[in-house]
Amino acid sequence: MVSFLVLISAIVGPLDGVDGPSSPGARLEVQGHRGARARRPENTLAAFRYALDVGVDVIELDLVVTKDEHLVVDHNLFLNPDICLGPGAARIRGRVLVRSLTLDELRRYDCGTLRNPRFPTQQPSPGERIPTLEEVFKLLEETEGAEGVRLNIEAKSVPSRPDLTFPPERWAEVLAEALKKPKRRARVNVQSFDHRILRELKARLPEVPISALVAESLPDLVELARDLGAEIISPNLDWITGPAVAALHAAGVRVIPWTANTPEEWARLVDLGVDGIITDDPAGLIGFLKAQGLR
Dihedral sign from CA coordinates of 148, 222, 238, 157: positive
What beta strand segments (E) does the chain contain?
A: 29-33, 58-65, 71-73, 150-155, 188-192, 210-214, 232-235, 254-255, 276-279
Is 21's pLDDT higher than 90?
no
Is the pLDDT assigned to residue 17 strictly greater than 70? no
Task: Give the integer Cα–Cα distance in Å for 284 and 263.
Answer: 8
Q: Are 175 and 201 in contact (CB under 8 A)?
A: yes
User: DSSP class of residue 164?
Assistant: G
8 A C-beta contact, residue 18 and residue 231: yes
Q: Are 123 and 36 in contact (CB under 8 A)?
A: no
- The predicted model gives 43-55 an average pLDDT of 98
Catalytic residues: 33, 75
Length of the chain: 295
16 has a pLDDT exceeding 70:
no
pLDDT in tens, 50-71: 999 999 999 999 999 999 999 9
| In the predicted structure, residue 100 carries a pLDDT above the cut 50 | yes
Tens of pLDDT, residue by residue over 149-160, are 999 999 999 999
Q: Is 236 exposed, middle or buried (0-12, 13-18, 19+ CB in 10 A)?
A: middle
Instruction: Using only the alpha carbons of the chain, give its radius of gyration.
Output: 19
Which has the higher per-residue pLDDT, 218 or 284?
284
Domains of the chain: 4-75+130-291 (3.20.20.190)
- Other beta carbons within 10 Å of 147: 9
Residue 220: other Cβ atoms inside 10 A: 11
Q: Residue 125 is which amino acid?
A: S
Q: What is the pLDDT of residues 190-208, one digit of tens each?
A: 999 999 999 999 999 999 9
Measuring CA to CA, which residue among 21, 22, 54, 25 is closest to residue 38?
54
Closest CA to 146 of 12, 45, 256, 242: 45
- pTM for this one? 0.91
For the segment 87-111, the average pLDDT, to the nearest whole number, is 97
The dihedral sign for the CA sequence 145, 37, 101, 150 = positive
